[in-house]
Amino acid sequence: MAGKYKGVQAVLLEHNSNCIFSSCGNHTLNLVSVDCAESCKEAITYFGTVQQMYNLFSSSPQRWEILKKYLLVSLHGMSKTRWSARIDGVQPVAQYLNSARKALNELESLNLTAQAGMELQSIQKHMSKFECILMLSLWMKLLTMIHQTNLVIEAHNATLDVERDNIESLINDIQQICEQRDAILTESKLVAQNIGISSEFSANRNLPTESDAEQHSRVNVFLVIIDSIQSGLTHRFESLQLICTLFRFLWQFNRLSNEDLLSAAEQFQQQYNKEISKDLSDETFFLK
């Protein structure tokens, strides 16, 4: 549909070069989230582990009863079509991480298949790392912001300028998250200490020291995720900005100065000079 060369967008532009393509705001926001969650292998592993844990418990009534014994809320699978709703999948794990770990430990007493046993060990290993807690804290904040923005722009009375303002607000909020990295790190370390998990980054062959691992987490995980969201929001909503810039004077004429109003009307007329006469500027001023 949106293909620039062979899609419907391209066909319409052949007939009228003034057409402006702008996709559904909710769909676009979901695409930004998808790109962000696949921006680094740590994010892919994190969401994969959360989904894997849901699959492990939900595949057996006996396992689900064990989960209910420890968690006050239910787990949810990761939505494939509505990324902003993934807050429902992340939130229970983030709020009841220690309880989830206890439920996982009790599964060891069951007669699991070899495949289920391997999955259990993989989940337990990941959820015993400080990096998991840090990702839980970061994604809870990011997904909450994205989900709240999605709820606003999908409202039946939300106009394009409301969508634009909320996307701009989301970009600013994401920037604040970037500046709060140290606070998120401190918060995650306190959580780790309270539930008996090491608050140090995991060193490995490629990152021999804890300092190297922390630097990798900051540069190649945290900043990559933040940059992916910011660049995605800026790039994917460019057409929305263009539409609002061109048309906003039609609904904001009472709030614009005479000079700004006439300038916006002239810009609009020049864009659509084959359809709109130069009288538009005078008519718009008279309307005000």
Assess whether pLDDT exceeds 80 at residue 83. Answer: no
Residue 93 resides in a domain:
yes
Assess whether pLDDT exceeds 80 at residue 253. Answer: yes
What distances in angstroms separate CA 248 from CA 5, 150, 263, one per listed residue? 29, 22, 12
User: What CA dihedral angle connects 132, 92, 76 and 43, to 10 degrees?
Assistant: -20
Interatomic CA distance for residues 54 and 49, integer angstroms: 9
Q: Which of 128, 157, 187 is the last residue of a domain?
A: 128
The pLDDT-based confidence of 103 (bands split at 50, 70, 90) is very high
Share of the chain above pLDDT 70, in %: 98
Burial group, residue 6, by CB count within 10 angstroms (0-12, 13-18, 19+): exposed
Q: pLDDT tens digit string along 146-205?
A: 989 988 988 888 888 889 999 999 999 999 999 999 999 999 999 999 999 999 999 888
Interatomic CA distance for residues 190 and 103, integer angstroms: 22
Taking the alpha carbons of 146, 148, 153, 154 in that order, is the dihedral positive or negative? positive
Q: Specify the pTM.
A: 0.85
The average confidence (pLDDT) of the chain is: 90
Residue 202 resides in a domain:
no
Within a 13 Å sphere around the CA of 228, how many CA atoms are in the beta-carbon half? 20
Interatomic CA distance for residues 211 and 94, integer angstroms: 25
What is the SS3 assignment for 49? helix
Structural domain total, the chain: 2
**CA-based nearest residue to 250, from 133, 186, 161, 163:** 161
Range of the domain at 68: 40-128
Q: Which of 105, 128, 151 is the last residue of a domain?
A: 128
Q: Which of 88, 111, 128 is the last residue of a domain?
A: 128
Encoded tokens for 158? 């939300």
| Residue that is written with structure tokens 């079509």 in the block | 81
Average pLDDT over every residue of 136-155: 91
